[in-house]
Amino acid sequence: MNKSIFRKSAMVGMIALLFSNVIYGQYDSDYIPLKSSGDLPEEFLKTARALSQEDLKTIGYGTDRIAKEQFIISSNYYLRDLLLSGDVLINDALGNYVNKVADELLKNDPELRKQIHVYVTKSPDVNAHAFDKGFIFINAGLLAQLENEAQLAYVLSHEITHVVKKHSVNQYLENIKLDRGTSNYETGSYEARNIAKYRFSKDNESEADVEGLVRIKGSGYSIKALNGAFDVLQYSYLPFELVEFKKSFFEDEFLILPDTFYLKKTSEIKSNDDYDDSKSTHPNIRKRRGAVEADLIVADESSRKKYIVSEEEFKKVREIARFESCRLYLIDRDYINAIYAAYILLEKYPENVYLKKIVAKSLYNIAISKSGGSRYKSKYLSSDANNARLSSKSYSIPDFEKIEGASQRVYYLLDNLDSKELNTIALSYTYKAYKKNPNDLVLSILSDSLFSEMVNSNQLYLNDFAKSSKAQLLAMDTAKVVVAIVDSTIEESKYSKIKKQQQKFEIQTEENFTKYAFVGLLQDPEFVKRYTKAARGLTRKEEVKKDNLTYKERKKIEDQLAKQNKDKYTLLGVEKVLFLEPFYMNVKTIGGNNVVNYFVSEEKQVKLGEIQKKCADKLKLQYEMIGTKNMTTSDMDRYNLNSILNDWLTERFNHGDNSDELIVGTDETNKLIEKYGTKFLAWSGIYNEKSRSSHNTYFFILFNLETGEVMKYETRYTKSKDNTDLITSFVYNSLMHVSKNPK
C-alpha cells in the first residue's frame, strides 16, 4: 500500500518534472514570437458601422441620445481599429489561458460570460482596459509582471465591472455635461469642472476595484493574494524581475570592462504610492489599496486558492509574456529595458538565440545612435517623387540617475561607454552569438553591420587591436611585444629600439580596454576575414557637418545631394509592392471642435484601396493588399501577416529618418519577402478636414522591407474636397514613380 502511494507520488512527481521541463525546456534554444491561430472571431469581421448599428438599437430616445450615438460610433471605430491593428492575439497561449480564468471567474454568470470577450494585446505596458461593448484587453506587459492567477482574476474582475457598469459611456456623457456646465456632479468654475472629470473617472475606478473584489469573493480565488496586485501596479515601472546585473555579461577572457563602468551602488526603489492624483484618471495606489484593504480579510481564506486553472500554465504564460516583452521593448526603442529583460531570461536560458538577438539588436541600435546615426540620413530626395522626410528621431539613453533598482547598472554602463567602446562590445557579443548559431541570418547580418560601423564610423581597424592579452604582452620581452603588436618584419635599428621602448611603456599605461577585446576572436580566421572585408569595402563618404553652415551653404549642399539622387529615386522600377490597408480620416470642424465622420472615413478607406488597385493595374504594377477588409473566418494568415507588417511599420516609424537601425521583425519580414517576391511595402492615406473650406493631406510612403530604407515619401496638401479624380491623380502619380514602366 505504502509502496503503491510512493510509486504514484513518484510518478506524479516525474510527470510534473517532465511537464515543467516541457514548459521551460522549449525555450532553451529559441523562442518564436506569438502569433494568432485558428479561425477569426465574428467580431473581427464586422465593420465599425455594423458594430455601431447593433449598439444604436439599444440606446433609446432620451435627451442624451446624440451624445450616446457619438460615443458608440467613435468607440466602435477605435475598437475595430484595435481589433485589426495586429496587436490583438487570437487563440494564442496567453489568450486561451486568460479566457480560462475568465470562465472560472464567471462560471456562475454564463450570460455575462457570453458578453465578455477577453484578448491579450502585444504591448509591454503594465495595463488592461475594457470597452463597454464587452471587450477586455490584457497587455502582455501586465501578464509578465503578475505574481499569481488570483491577481489576474482580480484584474479581469475589475475590467468586467467597467463593462457591466458602462463606465466608458457614463464618463463620456458626464464629461459633456461638465463641459457645458449642466452636470450636477460639479457646478463650480471651469477649472473645478475640469478636475471633476478626473474625480468622476477615479470614482469609476474605485467602484471597479470594490465591485471587482465582490466578484472575486464569489469565486474560489485567494483574497489575500490580491494585495500583491496593487504592488504590481505600484512597481510597474520596474522590470519584471530584480536581478543583479553583472558586467561579466559582456565580458570574456580578454574583453574586461574597467570597474569604472560599473555603478557601485544602485538607487533605492522609492516608489511613492501616495502621489498627487488630482489630475489622474485612477486614484493613487494608497487610496486604491486603502479602499479595499478591510475587505481583503475573509474567513474562508484557507479554502481559497491562488491558482484554480493551473499554476503551471500561469507560469508558462508569464514566461511567454516576458519573452514577448523583450521584443515589444525593442519595437518601442526601449533598448536598455530590452537588454535587461533579456539578461534576466538569459540567466535561465543561457543559450536562447532569440534573447541573444534581442541583446545584439539593442546593442547595435545604441551603438549606431552613439556613432552619429544613419548612413541614409543625409539623402535629400528629388522634389517630384519625394517631397517629404520622416522626422528625425534620434535615440539617447535615458538618464541613469532617474532609474531605480538593479537595471540602473545597465543604463550607467551603456551611457558611459563611448562610440568605439560600445561598437567593440556589440561586435564581440554579436559575433560570439553568431559563432554559436552560425545559421542565424540576423546575427550574421548584424555582425557585418557592426564590422562596417567599426571601420566607417569609428575608424577602428584590425591593427588597432592587440593579438595577445595585456598580461601576455607584459610578460614578453620588448622584441616580442613589437612582433605581437605590430609587425614581425621590423628591422632592428635605432628607431625600432625607440619604438620597442614606446610600445612597452604603452602597454603598461594602456587604459583602453578595447585594445585587447578581440584577442580571442582574432584567432578566428572568419572574424579576421570579415573585418578585413569591411575595411576594404570602406565606401561611406564622410558627411559634411552641416551644423555650423549658414542657411545658404546648407541649402547648396542639400540641392547638390538632391540632384545627385534625383535619377536614383524618381523612378524606382519596382515590379511588385505590398500595400498595407490605407488610412482615411474625414473630419468636420464644428464649433471649433474636430468631429470625425467615422462612417464616411471607413467607406472612403475602402474606396482609396480600390483606387490604388485601379492605378496599379493601369501601371501594370503587381499589387498585393495586406488588408483586413472583407476577411472571412479562415483568413488568419492574412491577419497575422498584417500584424507582422504593422509591428514592422510601428518600429520603423519609431526610428524616424534613421533607417540604419535594425528592424525587429527582420526574421519574419525576410520570410515574407521570400513568400511574396517583393521587398517593397507601401502605405498611404488621406486626412480630409472640412471647416470653412475643405483641405486634404495625402501621403504615400514606400519602404524597403529588407533595409528599412525609405524609398519614397510624398505628401500633398490641397485646398479641395477629397474628390475621387483628385485622389486618383495623387495615387497614380505616386505609383507611377514606383512602377517599372512609368509613362
Partner 1 sequence: MRLVYLLFFLLAVSVSNAQIAGYMGKRCVIGYSNYFMFAPKGPGPMSAEPSNEFSATFNNAHCLNIEYALNQRKMICFSGQYIRTGIAYDDGKVGDGFFAGTFNYETETPYPNNNRYVGIYSKPALLSSINVALGIKSFGNGFIAPAGRYNKFEVILMFETVKYDNKNFEHQDPNSGGFVTGNLGTGEYAYNNVSVAYTVGKQRILGDKIVLDYGLRFAYTPAANIVTLAGFDTVKDIEDYYRRESRMRMFRQQLINFHVGIGFLAF
| Contact set with partner 1 (CB under 8 A) | 384-385, 570-571, 615, 618-619, 696, 698, 716-720, 723, 725-726, 728-730, 732-733, 736-737, 742-743
List the grid coordinates of 645.
Answer: 507588417
Closest to partner 1 by CB, 130 vs 738, is: 738
φ, ψ of residue 583 to 5 degrees: the values are -105, 140
CA distances from 70 to 74, 152, 176 (A): 6, 33, 11
Closest to partner 1 by CB, 579 vs 698, is: 698
List the grid coordinates of 571.
Answer: 523612378
- The three-class DSSP label of residue 525 is helix
Smallest separation, CB 726 to partner 1 (Å): 6
Smallest separation, CB 716 to partner 1 (Å): 4
Say if residue 402 is exposed, middle or buried (CB neighbours under 10 Å; 0-12, 13-18, 19+).
Answer: exposed
Smallest separation, CB 384 to partner 1 (Å): 6
Closest to partner 1 by CB, 191 vs 725, is: 725
Phi-psi region of 538 (alpha: psi -120 to 50; beta: other; left: phi over 0): beta
* Residue 517 C-beta-side C-alpha neighbours within 13 Å: 27
Q: Tell me which H or E stretch contains 554.
A: helix 551-570
Closest to partner 1 by CB, 658 vs 733, is: 733
Answer whether 370's CB lies under 8 Å from 203's CB: no
Closest to partner 1 by CB, 451 vs 569, is: 569
Smallest separation, CB 626 to partner 1 (Å): 24
Smallest separation, CB 694 to partner 1 (Å): 12
Closest to partner 1 by CB, 382 vs 430, is: 382
Answer whether 282's CB lies under 8 Å from 202's CB: yes
Smallest separation, CB 358 to partner 1 (Å): 43
Instruction: To the nearest 10°, report the CA torsion of 260, 264, 265, 267.
Output: 20
Residue listed under C-alpha cell 503503491: 4
Answer whether 569's CB lies under 8 Å from 382's CB: yes
Closest to partner 1 by CB, 632 vs 724, is: 724
Residue listed under C-alpha cell 529615386: 569
φ, ψ of residue 224 to 5 degrees: the values are -60, -35
Phi-psi region of 376 (alpha: psi -120 to 50; beta: other; left: phi over 0): alpha
Q: Which residues contact 46 (CB under 8 A, 6 or more apart)?
A: 80
Closest to partner 1 by CB, 513 vs 579, is: 579
Smallest separation, CB 733 to partner 1 (Å): 4
Closest to partner 1 by CB, 237 vs 717, is: 717
Smallest separation, CB 696 to partner 1 (Å): 8
Smallest separation, CB 709 to partner 1 (Å): 21
Q: Which residues contact 394 (CB under 8 A, 6 or more apart)?
A: 369, 373, 656, 658
Smallest separation, CB 559 to partner 1 (Å): 18
Closest to partner 1 by CB, 597 vs 729, is: 729
Closest to partner 1 by CB, 291 vs 726, is: 726
Smallest separation, CB 624 to partner 1 (Å): 21
Closest to partner 1 by CB, 76 vs 739, is: 739
φ, ψ of residue 207 to 5 degrees: the values are -65, -40
Closest listed residue to residue 359, CA positions, set 335, 376, 395, 391:
335
Buried/exposed code over 586-608 (b: 16+ C-beta within 10 A; e: otherwise):
bbeeeeeeeebbbbbbbebbbbb
Cα–Cα–Cα angle for 28, 322, 353, rounded to 5 degrees? 35
Smallest separation, CB 723 to partner 1 (Å): 7
End-to-end C-alpha distance for the chain, whole angstroms: 89
Q: How many CB atoms lie within 10 A of CB 255?
A: 20
- C-alpha to C-alpha distance for 473 and 478, rounded to whole angstroms: 9
Q: Which residues contact 247 (CB under 8 A, 6 or more apart)?
A: 257, 261, 262, 409, 413
Residues in the chain: 743
